[in-house]
Amino acid sequence: MKVATVTLNPAIDQTVRVASLEPGHVHRARTMLLQAGGKGINVAAFLAASGCPVIATGFLGSENASVFERFFAERGIADAFVRLPGQTRIDIKIVDEERRETTDINLPGLAPSEEALSKLWQTVEDLAADCRWFVLAGALPPAVPSSLYATLIARLKALGRLTVLDASGEALAQGILAGPTLVKPNRVELEQLVGQPLTSPSAVAQAARSLLRHDIRRVVVSLGEQGALFVEGEQVLQALPPAVTVESTVGAGDAMVAALVLAEQRGLDLAATARLATAYALARITRLDGTLPPSTVLEDYSERVQLSPLALLSAEG
């Protein structure tokens, strides 16, 4: 079956590259790129590039929807977005080439009407006829309840569908209570969720494992340069990536989410899932164009990922 991604607050990413970012100074940009963005849209692009049939939905401003429509056509993504009056927000990303850092300036986005929300509910229910997996990703738009993801998860579970949640703040907290199949916070999001700093892999793993009681099958926590933790049942694995040259960290988590869905479709165990997801994240951060490298490169990355079990969590959890 197909996969559906839900992006409720997409953006047009305006990426500007500068030699070195110095606050308060005038800069001359080296390049500028406009591209359809939003976590669920990024996930859809990675899935489509991997040969997985994917449908993307959510909300788009009708006045600049052509940017997204071209992107969907180029990437082979089916468009099921609900159109709103106005323009989809533009998010500014400033890439500091010297420090290899990205500064994000994110605008709030369009607020959907009650009619638009009703159209979204109907669209999601219609997609459930053809899609087994739903990826719910990114920030919520203005003026909608923080429980929106939780409501979507509950409705999809009632239809027998599986969900991945990649959100933050209160939307993540309430969404987890609804019991998504998979959840992928980063360390900071998990710290906010549990209300305390998580200064070691074992502390992160213990916090992640505590989420399983909410009818969640698998929790994956991205840790940046320290890789990621993969938690399922009594099993906890830390995936450590090989050293690579980082071109941009934008979209690394989205690539990982796409790989998690692919791993589920292929019936991979936790170790193989960890290798695949880490390889996809590596493939993203080593390229500037947002595309995946050849399969041979992905396989090489996967083989070079180091897996370390954290068995001590079975006693602490």
**Active site residue: 79, 166, 254, 300, which one?**
254
CA distances from residue 57 to 33, 49, 50, 51, 160 in whole angstroms, order as listed: 24, 18, 19, 19, 19
Write down the residue that tokens 């960290």 correspond to. 249
Residues 104, 138 contacting (CB under 8 angstroms): no
Residue that finishes a domain, picked among 121, 145, 180: 180
pLDDT in tens, 182-220: 999 999 999 999 999 999 999 999 999 999 999 999 999
pLDDT score recorded for residue 208? 96
Question: What is the Cα–Cα distance from 223 to 192, expressed in whole angstroms?
Answer: 14
Residue that finishes a domain, picked among 145, 180, 215: 180
pLDDT score recorded for residue 313? 40
Residue that finishes a domain, picked among 122, 146, 180: 180
Q: Is residue 24 part of a domain?
A: no
pLDDT score recorded for residue 225? 84
One domain for residues 190 and 135:
no
Q: Report the 10 Å Cβ neighbour count for 30.
A: 11
pLDDT score recorded for residue 251? 87
One domain for residues 196 and 302:
yes
One domain for residues 165 and 185:
no
What CATH number has the domain bearing residue 309?
3.40.1190.20
| Tokens matching residue 235 | 């099993």
- The full 3-state SS of 221-271, as one line of letters, equals EECHHHCEEEEECCEEEEEECCCCCCCCCCCHHHHHHHHHHHHHHHCCCHH
One domain for residues 147 and 186:
no
Q: Is residue 99 part of a domain?
A: yes
Write down the residue that tokens 């793993």 correspond to. 205
One domain for residues 138 and 185:
no
Nearest CA among 163, 178, 89 for reference residue 131: 163
The ranges of the chain with pLDDT < 50 are 312-317
Domain count, the chain: 2
pLDDT score recorded for residue 249? 78
One domain for residues 186 and 167:
no
Known active-site residue 96 = no
One domain for residues 142 and 194:
no
State which residues form the domain around 62: 1-19+29-180
Question: What is the Cα–Cα distance from 56 to 122, expressed in whole angstroms?
Answer: 14
pLDDT score recorded for residue 24? 94
One domain for residues 223 and 186:
yes
pLDDT score recorded for residue 311? 58
One domain for residues 240 and 147:
no
One domain for residues 238 and 148:
no
CB-based contacts of 155, cutoff 8 Å, min separation 6: 121, 124, 125
Q: Is residue 155 part of a domain?
A: yes
